[in-house]
């Protein structure tokens, strides 16, 4: 469990791999998922070296808050505030976290089932 500069989202953040950007702030980058699971599927990553929720909790609360604000601003940018959206953080093996760089999934665009599969 260690931050890796070579992971795919670190490369996207540095502009080494292209992405379809939705919204970039001083503290976060939001871009469309390459393999959308829902009609709207956007990923939001913080501009800090956090692998997972654990690192966000260990960081200062203001930094965590700025990242969370980036998620909300992205949802607004996508026009989702009226109809709503779901935010998912897959964390670790059982949740099938495949990229070891903290990221929030914004899922929306139709009525989503609950509980999630
Ligand atoms: P996880 O399962 O780790 O929570 O989700 C990782 C997500 O990243 C998946 O939904 C996957 O489709 C997406 N993804 C993986 N590689 C890339 C990429 O190179 N570009 C983009 N835009 N999304 C990616």
CB 72 within 8 A of CB 28: no
The rounded distance, in Å, linking the Cα atoms of 109 and 15 is 28
Mean pLDDT of the region 40-47: 98
- Residues designated catalytic: 103
With H, G, I as helix, E, B as strand and everything else as coil, classify residue 33. Answer: coil
Check pLDDT > 90 for residue 117.
no
- Rounded distance between C-alpha atoms, residue 11 and residue 8, angstroms: 5
pLDDT tens string 55-108: 999 999 999 999 999 999 999 999 999 999 999 999 999 999 999 999 999 999
Residue 1's pLDDT is 82
CA of 49 to the centre of ligand 1 (A): 17
**pLDDT tens profile 1-40:** 899 999 999 999 999 999 999 999 999 999 999 999 999 9
* pTM flag (> 0.85): yes
The pLDDT score that the predictor gives to residue 33 is 98
Which residues lie with the beta carbon below 6 Å from any ligand 1 atom?
8, 17, 19, 31-35, 43, 90, 96-99
């Amino acid at each position: 469990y260690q931050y890796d500069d070579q992971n795919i989202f670190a490369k996207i953040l540095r502009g080494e791999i292209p992405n379809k950007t939705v919204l970039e702030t001083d503290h976060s980058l939001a871009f469309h998922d390459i393999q959308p699971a829902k009609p709207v599927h956007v990923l939001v990553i913080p501009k800090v070296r956090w692998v997972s929720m654990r690192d966000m909790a260990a960081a200062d609360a203001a930094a965590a808050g700025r990242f969370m604000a980036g998620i909300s601003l992205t949802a607004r940018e996508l026009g989702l505030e009226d109809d709503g959206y779901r935010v998912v953080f897959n964390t670790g093996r059982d949740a099938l976290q495949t990229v070891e760089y903290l990221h929030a999934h914004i899922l929306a665009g139709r009525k989503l089932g609950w509980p999630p599969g």
